[in-house]
Amino acid sequence: MKFFIDTANLGQIKEAHEMGILDGVTTNPSLMAKEGIKGKKAVEQHYIDICNIVDGDVSAEVISTDFDSIIKEGKHLSKLHEKIVVKVPMIKDGVKAMKWFTDHGIATNCTLVFSAGQAILAAKAGAKYVSPFIGRIDDSGWNGVELVQQISQIYSIQGYKTQILAASIRSSLHIIQCAEAGADVCTCPLDSIMGLLKHPLTDIGLAKFLEDAKKFA
C-alpha cells in the first residue's frame, strides 16, 4: 500500500518525504484554505511547490461543478506540473469529465466517494484513483473500512484498474485497517503516520539497550 499525505502544509510534506516513506500528496480546497493561501496564482504556485518536494502523484482539486468548467480547470491544473492528478467530485458532470480526462490522457482522482455504486462509476470513467472517505463514513454511523473491503472485492472481480485511495483517515488504526481491507493507497494526516511508530515496548526496550550499552562504552 502506498502512503500519501493528506495536507497542503509544506513543512509536514517535507517531514514525511524525508522519512523516505512518502509516495504522493492529496489536497483539497479546505486543506489549501487552512494554509492561508489566497488567490489563484498563489494556489497554483503552492501546487508547484508541493510537486517539487515529493516523488509521486499530487492531487489538485477542481472547484467547478459543470462539465465545461471542470474540463477547463482540470486541463489548466494538469499543465502546472507532470505530477498533478486532477481531483474531481463524484457528481454527474464530474463522471462525464473524468471520462473525458481519461480519453485525453489526464489522470484523475475521484473524490467524495461514500458508496460502492459511486466507486463503480469512478472505475467506469477510468479514474486513476477512487477516494472513499473513511472517517466521514464512520462519523455518520456507517463503517468506512467495510466500504474499502467492498470496493476492493468488486474491483478484483470486475478487473477494474482504478486504485483505491482511502481518504479521510483519522487514526493510525485506520491505516492498518485500510491495508488489511485492500486499499492501494492511504492518504493520511502526518499524526496518523507518526502514530504507526509508537509502541511502549519499543521505548522500554530501547531505553534498556542504551542503558546496557553504557556498560561496555
Binding site for ligand G3P (CB under 6 A): 6, 26, 28, 133, 135-136, 167-168, 187
Nearer to ligand G3P, 114 or 155 (CB): 114
Nearer to ligand G3P, 100 or 188 (CB): 188
Nearer to ligand G3P, 100 or 133 (CB): 133
Q: Which residues of 177-205 are buried (b: 16+ CB within 10 A; e: fewer)?
A: bbeebbbbbbbbbbebbebeeeeeeeeee
Alpha carbon distance 169, 111 (integer Å) = 14
Question: Minimum CB separation from ligand G3P for residue 187, in Å?
Answer: 5
Question: Minimum CB separation from ligand G3P for residue 210, in Å?
Answer: 37
Choosing from 38, 87, 96, 214, the catalytic residue is 87
Q: Residue 13 is inside which H or E element, if any?
A: helix 10-18
C-alpha cell at 18: 524525508
Identify the CA nearest to 107 among candidates 125, 90, 134, 91. Answer: 125
Nearer to ligand G3P, 31 or 154 (CB): 31
> Is 87 part of the annotated catalytic residue set?
yes
The alpha-carbon radius of gyration of the chain (Å, integer) is 19
Question: Minimum CB separation from ligand G3P for residue 132, in Å?
Answer: 10
Alpha carbon distance 151, 139 (integer Å) = 19
* Rounded alpha-carbon distances, angstroms, from residue 206 to 174, 199, 202, 213: 27, 11, 6, 10
Question: Minimum CB separation from ligand G3P for residue 166, in Å?
Answer: 9
Q: Which residues are tagged catalytic?
A: 87
